[in-house]
């Protein structure tokens, strides 16, 4: 059967030379094949002879016309291709020098529906050459204001401006429900060598779901990509990005922000309650669902306030597809997870925290990102955000990818992301995850599995530069915020200023203290005299950094047991040991962090899949631990000796560090003023020690302000009847001393009162 001949398209209104017609036909072919890299060269208004022709593509349209402002009758368009490519030539009476912009396209779909829209390709670009220059240099730290999806009004038309970095892409289109996910409809404009693609889509509104369809450098269409700068994402398992306006929420925390910027946090009490929002508390009567941001505001904030915590630290709130990653395998770096509500609802939660006097820290994950095909991995068909060489670009521990910190645009992306949360969400600080894995090129790698730096060393010089710059810019723009490093090695000067060669963090998690402390407390008391240096060793380096003392989520998951069940002995001894542990953490120099549930003496390990064991609060022993945590936080706040001088020797003094045989530790904590003096004594055995003499710095009365063996906490109520007057009997090289009764597996804290 002979091949059916297709009718030839009608000639253009303004006849063109054959060579030009051939060029136009080739461009139309490329557009219809989804391969046109420069859509503005074909679509929209274009000179034709002495006037203008308007070309547009509406897949499946049966007929179309152009509606010009101020013209009563629409101008019919001719179909140049049956797929829906049209051209309308303006009548001679309407030919003007400037290109027409205020027009709409009216077309009839294959289903007979009449649709009228503005033409995307009649609108100008928005990003300036200066924007592109700064992005290329890696110094445009407000890129979250430029890239991504932003609601804009251009030439009195409301719509969404999209912009994305994909330098090796041959073509980038924005796709979504609004164009039936057809990448031929909204191809984007390439902005030269910057690698940025942008497009304004008129009349698109908040809530639109979108992704980017990218043809990679090799010519293949990649899996649809979520927007790296998306401010909201669909709830898993869906992976689309969502258009949202972040500027509609009206903040009311000005007083908090102003006071924060004036506060010396290193000399202030900081007690952090670490929380995973999806498992703190659930609603069992409603299919065990998560609490919403608003419900968390109603329940979590009063709870944290009642317990006396100064801050909440949230496990990564950024969007992530897999619940079991706890947020640490982030996909949507700029999107607060939709699991618990909208961005505005999360803003309201933070606002309410600030009104309650509670700061909010976020866990932040610039050390790695997952391989999900809709994310950053091979974003434009090349190793754009990650290194191409797996010896640099993959993370052996987690199977994830490592950022190329040496690329200006990647460093810019991450710094911009840090600033975004501090700016748009009024976050009070960032705890940076897995810093050690960033600093060392050979982290978790064997010989031959890593590439030395330019000097032959193992230090990741680009990551160091990135971390320093991030801290410098964050502190300069947002006074009073804190950055906290989870750094598990002895890398020097993590918390020293960058101008002194440090990384510039405010605080560093003291992982060595945590590990030694838990090893000591996990030992049977009868053997603790052989482990005595596990507790004294921390004071050899306690002031080398600004340390935070963490008992975090990492210590109570995956076969590690809860804090309670790490403790040896029978059930009474386990509770007593836990109370002693928590008091020791409070009294030791450094800021404090405790993961949720440990204040309840949680029995089971933590799992993200279910709520904390709130039913335990019916038991006095569990309520006693919670009461102790409340009193410890109150003491931390009210006693300058426990928070004013956390980071140098002036705030700490050993009374007795050497009584290994009795497993007793005694030390003093000092505030800035001489009157602020506390004596802390730990008895790490289940033996009551009567007549225990300890030398003290001053004469006077020492009031027993805390005893973890108090009956109200579940203890045996052994103590010192409220305190004791120091005698002038010398002991341990001091002129005055106390003769105390030390309760079993307990800590006592004594406050000095001048005679």
Q: Which residues are catalytic?
A: 433, 486
| Exposure on the CB side of residue 698, measured as CA atoms within 13 A | 17
Residue the block writes with tokens 């009608």: 10
| Helix, strand, or coil (residue 117) | strand
Q: What angle do CA 149, 154, 155 make, to 5 degrees?
A: 170
Asked whether the beta carbons of 284 and 313 are under 8 A apart, the reply is no
Residues paired with residue 591 on neighbouring β-strands, in sequence order: 548
Closest CA to 311 of 354, 266, 255: 354
**CA–CA distance, 494 with 490 (Å, rounded to integer):** 9
For residue 585, give the H/E element and its range: helix 571-587
In the 8-state DSSP scheme, what is residue 166? -
What stretches of 330-407 show up as alpha helix (H) in DSSP? 343-355, 390-393
Q: Which residues of 332-349 are buried (b: 16+ CB within 10 A; e: fewer)?
A: bbbbbbbbbbbbbbbbbb
Displacement of CA 55 from its chain's centroid (Å): 45
Handedness of CA 253, 257, 259, 263 (dihedral sign): positive
Instruction: Please count the residues of the chain.
Output: 755
Burial of 177 (0-12, 13-18, 19+ CB in 10 A): exposed
CA distances from 461 to 465, 488, 490 (A): 6, 18, 17
Strands 289-290 and 282-283: antiparallel
Q: What angle do CA 324, 550, 657 make, to 5 degrees?
A: 150
**CA–CA distance, 600 with 279 (Å, rounded to integer):** 14
Asked whether the beta carbons of 208 and 221 are under 8 A apart, the reply is no
Angle subtended by helix axes 293-307 and 343-355, to nearest 10: 20
Residue the block writes with tokens 């110094």: 139
Q: Which residues of 705-739 are buried (b: 16+ CB within 10 A; e: fewer)?
A: bbbbbbeebbbbebbbeebbebeeeebeeeebbbe
| Exposure on the CB side of residue 631, measured as CA atoms within 13 A | 18
Residue the block writes with tokens 């005299």: 529
């Amino acid at each position: 059967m002979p091949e059916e001949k297709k009718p030839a398209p009608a000639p253009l209104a303004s006849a063109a030379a054959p060579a030009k017609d051939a060029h136009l036909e080739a461009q139309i072919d490329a557009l219809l094949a989804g391969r046109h890299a420069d859509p503005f060269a074909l679509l929209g208004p274009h000179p034709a002879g002495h006037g203008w022709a308007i070309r547009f593509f509406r897949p499946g349209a049966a007929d179309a016309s152009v509606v010009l402002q101020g013209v009563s009758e629409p101008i019919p368009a001719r179909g140049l291709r049956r797929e829906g490519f049209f051209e309308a030539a303006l009548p001679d009476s309407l030919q003007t020098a400037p290109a027409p912009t205020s027009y709409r396209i009216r077309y009839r779909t294959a289903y007979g529906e009449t649709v009228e829209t503005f033409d995307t390709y009649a609108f100008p670009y928005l990003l300036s050459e200066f924007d592109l220059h700064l992005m290329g240099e890696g110094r445009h730290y407000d890129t979250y204001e430029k890239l991504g999806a932003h609601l804009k009004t251009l030439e009195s038309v409301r719509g969404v401006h999209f912009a994305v970095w994909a330098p090796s892409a041959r073509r980038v289109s924005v796709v979504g429900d609004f164009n039936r996910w057809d990448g031929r409809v909204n191809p984007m404009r390439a902005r030269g060598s910057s690698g940025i693609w942008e497009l304004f889509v008129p009349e698109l509104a908040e809530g639109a779901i979108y992704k980017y369809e990218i043809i990679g450098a090799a010519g293949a269409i990649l899996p649809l990509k979520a927007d790296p700068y998306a401010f909201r994402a669909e709830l898993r398992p869906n992976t689309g990005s969502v258009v949202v306006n972040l500027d509609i929420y009206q903040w009311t925390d000005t007083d908090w922000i102003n006071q924060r910027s004036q506060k010396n946090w290193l000399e202030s009490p900081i007690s952090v309650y670490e929380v995973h929002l999806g498992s703190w508390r659930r609603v069992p009567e409603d299919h065990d669902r998560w609490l919403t941001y608003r419900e968390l505001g109603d329940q979590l904030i009063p709870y944290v306030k009642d317990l006396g915590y100064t801050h909440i630290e949230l496990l990564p709130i950024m969007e992530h597809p897999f619940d079991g990653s706890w947020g640490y395998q982030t996909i949507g770096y700029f999107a607060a997870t939709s699991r618990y509500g909208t961005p505005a609802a999360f803003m309201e939660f933070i606002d309410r925290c600030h009104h309650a006097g509670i700061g909010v820290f976020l866990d932040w994950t610039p050390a790695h990102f997952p391989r999900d095909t809709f994310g950053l991995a091979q974003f434009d068909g090349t190793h754009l955000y990650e290194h191409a060489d797996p010896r640099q670009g993959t993370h052996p521990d987690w199977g994830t990818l490592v950022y190329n910190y040496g690329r200006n645009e990647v460093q810019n992306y991450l710094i911009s992301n840090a600033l975004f949360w501090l700016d748009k969400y009024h976050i009070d600080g960032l705890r940076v995850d897995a810093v050690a894995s960033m600093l060392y090129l050979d982290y978790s790698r064997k010989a031959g599995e890593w590439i030395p730096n330019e000097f032959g060393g193992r230090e990741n010089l680009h990551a160091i530069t990135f971390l320093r710059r991030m801290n410098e810019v964050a502190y300069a723009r947002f006074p009073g915020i804190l950055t906290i490093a989870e750094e598990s090695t002895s890398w020097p000067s993590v918390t020293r200023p960058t101008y002194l060669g440090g990384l510039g963090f405010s605080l560093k998690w003291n992982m060595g203290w945590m590990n030694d402390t838990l090893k000591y407390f996990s030992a049977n008391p009868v053997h603790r005299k052989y482990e005595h240096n596990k507790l004294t060793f921390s004071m050899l380096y306690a002031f080398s950094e600004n340390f935070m003392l963490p008992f975090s989520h990492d210590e109570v998951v995956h076969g590690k047991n809860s804090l309670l069940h790490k403790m040896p002995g029978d059930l009474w001894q386990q509770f007593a040991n836990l109370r002693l542990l928590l008091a020791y953490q409070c009294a030791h120099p450094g800021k404090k962090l405790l993961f949720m549930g440990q204040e309840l003496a949680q029995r089971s390990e933590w799992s993200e899949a279910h709520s904390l064991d709130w039913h335990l609060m019916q038991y006095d022993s569990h309520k006693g631990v919670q009461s102790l945590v409340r009193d410890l936080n109150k003491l931390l706040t009210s006693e300058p000796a426990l928070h004013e001088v956390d980071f140098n020797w002036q705030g700490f003094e050993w009374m007795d560090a050497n009584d290994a045989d009795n497993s007793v530790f005694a030390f003093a904590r000092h505030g800035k003023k001489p009157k602020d003096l506390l004596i802390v004594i730990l008895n790490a055995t289940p033996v009551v020690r009567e007549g225990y003499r300890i030398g003290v710095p001053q004469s006077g009365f020492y009031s027993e302000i805390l005893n973890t063996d108090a009956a109200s906490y579940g203890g045996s109520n052994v103590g010192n009847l409220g305190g004791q007057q120091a005698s002038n009997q010398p002991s341990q090289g001091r002129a005055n001393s106390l003769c105390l009764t030390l309760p079993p597996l307990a800590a006592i804290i004594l406050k000095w009162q001048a005679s």
